[in-house]
């Protein structure tokens, strides 16, 4: 069966990673017609926007997309394309598996016991984009209103970001996490919040998660405060299975978990909605390495394996994952981050991908 899939190479190191990902997926023999779409800072010159409307249209039509990372310039007023895509397509669930592959450079004593899936709510929380700039008239009005409604003073020279967390959004993500646990024979879901401080947003997330968990009696449920969770993940990561979190904590904890299993080059991801799914690595565009054929393709390749499973090409997904795993284990044709001692004798992105293709086809 032929699949039509939107491919967004992105910018920075994105295009070189997308190129090898495409070759590795094609090596599995799966029949894919790639619908190539441009987004990111490189698209601005051509389209006048980093996210041309045709990109969203293509994903809506094909329902499945894979994307290289894109840059979000800091403090430019330029909204993150990633956040925009997740909102526009209502990709409410971000799934980031953090599993150790033998050969990866982890600082843990027993990294082989780490097999965590971070499930992050993607549409609400401080990432909802509801912000009031310092000094603005509307911000001053809001500060007055806050004083009237809550009796609390906010300093006049403040900027404000709003943190909405709804019962609807929380139920939806927690249900997704439990359904994922059921489907993948996982045993335990842990909700992570700061409910002791933010009672009406994180407290709502915790209470709603506890209620939803009652529908899944065969799966263990727990709750942890996010600060404690950070320490526990570093000291006893093997105790955790699936984590479900509001947007901001999910973003931060998934990078922490990536660090446990060897760094950002090892962490794949997917953004899933009712209609569409967009697969992408956890890492960003690593612009300092742009065009240097240097960075690790594993995260995007494992994202591609998740994509293949999503389109019911599990055999191809298994072959791709096994090939990646074998090349990392051998440790010969791997990128700098997969080598001990500062990456001596490392190969580049392309050579590592060639070794993976050889395993797939050999």
Q: What is the rounded distance in angstroms from the CA atom of residue 125 to the CA atom of residue 39?
A: 25
The binder of ligand NAD chosen from 55, 299, 304, 347 (CB under 6 A): 299
Cβ at position 13, least distance to ligand NAD in Å:
7
The binder of ligand NAD chosen from 58, 62, 72, 212 (CB under 6 A): 72
Decide if residue 285 touches ligand NAD (CB under 6 A).
Answer: yes
Decide if residue 283 touches ligand NAD (CB under 6 A).
Answer: yes
Instruction: Tell me the two tokens of residue 225.
Output: 């405060």
Q: What is the rounded distance in angstroms from the CA atom of residue 259 to the CA atom of residue 13?
A: 20
Cβ at position 225, least distance to ligand NAD in Å:
25
Decide if residue 331 touches ligand NAD (CB under 6 A).
Answer: no
C-alpha torsion 87→90→92→95, nearest 10: -90
Per the CB < 8 A criterion, the answer to whether 265 and 138 are in contact is: no
Q: Which residue is nearest to ligand NAD (CB)?
A: 284
Report how far apart, in Å, the C-alpha atoms of 73 and of each of 39, 78, 284 are: 14, 7, 12
Interacting stretch for ligand NAD, rule CB under 6 A, among 68-76, 232-240, 271-279, 311-319? 68-76
Decide if residue 264 touches ligand NAD (CB under 6 A).
Answer: yes
Decide if residue 222 touches ligand NAD (CB under 6 A).
Answer: no
Interacting stretch for ligand NAD, rule CB under 6 A, among 54-62, 115-123, 285-293, 319-327? 285-293
Decide if residue 208 touches ligand NAD (CB under 6 A).
Answer: no
Using alpha carbons only, how large is the chain's radius of gyration in Å?
A: 21
Interacting stretch for ligand NAD, rule CB under 6 A, among 66-74, 86-94, 161-169, 325-333? 66-74
| β partners of residue 220 | 188
Decide if residue 343 touches ligand NAD (CB under 6 A).
Answer: no
Decide if residue 69 touches ligand NAD (CB under 6 A).
Answer: yes
| β partners of residue 224 | 192
The binder of ligand NAD chosen from 39, 70, 213, 353 (CB under 6 A): 70
β-pair type (115-121, 242-245) = parallel
Per the CB < 8 A criterion, the answer to whether 18 and 37 are in contact is: no
Cβ at position 287, least distance to ligand NAD in Å:
6
Q: What is the rounded distance in angstroms from the CA atom of residue 68 to the CA atom of residue 19?
A: 9
Strand ranges for the chain from DSSP E:
2-8, 31-36, 64-67, 93-99, 115-121, 131-132, 160-161, 188-193, 220-225, 242-245, 270-272, 277-280
Decide if residue 7 touches ligand NAD (CB under 6 A).
Answer: no
Decide if residue 265 touches ligand NAD (CB under 6 A).
Answer: yes
Per the CB < 8 A criterion, the answer to whether 357 and 338 are in contact is: no
The binder of ligand NAD chosen from 170, 296, 303, 325 (CB under 6 A): 296
Cβ at position 295, least distance to ligand NAD in Å:
4
User: CB 46: neighbour CB atoms within 10 A?
Assistant: 9
**Interface residue list for ligand NAD (CB under 6 A):** 69-72, 82, 264-265, 280, 283-288, 295-296, 299, 337
């Amino acid at each position: 069966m032929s699949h039509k899939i939107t491919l967004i190479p992105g910018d920075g190191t994105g295009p070189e990673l997308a190129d090898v990902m495409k070759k590795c997926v094609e090596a599995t023999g799966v029949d894919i017609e790639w619908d190539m779409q441009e987004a990111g800072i490189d698209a601005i010159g051509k389209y006048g926007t980093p996210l041309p409307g045709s990109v969203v249209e293509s994903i809506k039509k094909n329902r499945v997309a894979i994307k290289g990372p894109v840059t979000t310039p800091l403090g430019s007023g330029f909204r993150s394309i990633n956040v925009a895509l997740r909102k526009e397509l209502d990709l409410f669930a971000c799934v980031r598996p953090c599993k150790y592959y033998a050969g990866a450079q982890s600082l843990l004593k027993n990294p082989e016991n780490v097999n965590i899936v971070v499930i992050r709510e993607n549409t609400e929380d401080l990432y909802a984009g509801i912000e009031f700039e310092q000094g603005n008239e509307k911000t001053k009005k809001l500060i007055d209103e806050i004083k009237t409604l809550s009796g609390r003073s906010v300093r006049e020279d403040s900027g404000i970001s709003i943190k909405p967390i709804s019962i609807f959004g929380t139920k939806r993500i927690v249900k997704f996490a439990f359904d994922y646990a059921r489907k993948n024979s996982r045993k335990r879901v842990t909700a992570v919040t700061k409910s002791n401080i933010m009672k009406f947003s994180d407290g709502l997330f915790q209470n709603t998660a506890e209620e939803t968990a009652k529908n899944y009696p065969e799966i263990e449920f727990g709750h942890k405060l996010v600060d404690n969770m950070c320490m526990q993940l570093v000291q006893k990561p093997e105790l955790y299975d699936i984590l479900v979190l509001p947007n901001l904590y999910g973003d931060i904890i998934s990078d922490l978990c990536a660090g446990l299993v060897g760094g950002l080059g090892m962490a794949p991801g997917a953004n899933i909605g009712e209609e569409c799914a967009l697969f992408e690595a956890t890492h960003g565009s690593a612009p300092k390495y742009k065009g240097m054929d240097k960075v690790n393709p594993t995260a995007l390749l494992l994202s591609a394996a998740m994509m293949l499973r999503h389109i019911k090409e599990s055999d191809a997904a298994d072959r791709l994952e096994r090939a990646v795993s074998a090349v990392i284990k051998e440790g010969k044709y791997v990128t700098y981050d997969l080598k001990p001692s500062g990456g001596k004798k490392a190969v580049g992105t392309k050579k590592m991908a060639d070794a993976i293709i050889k395993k797939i086809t050999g």
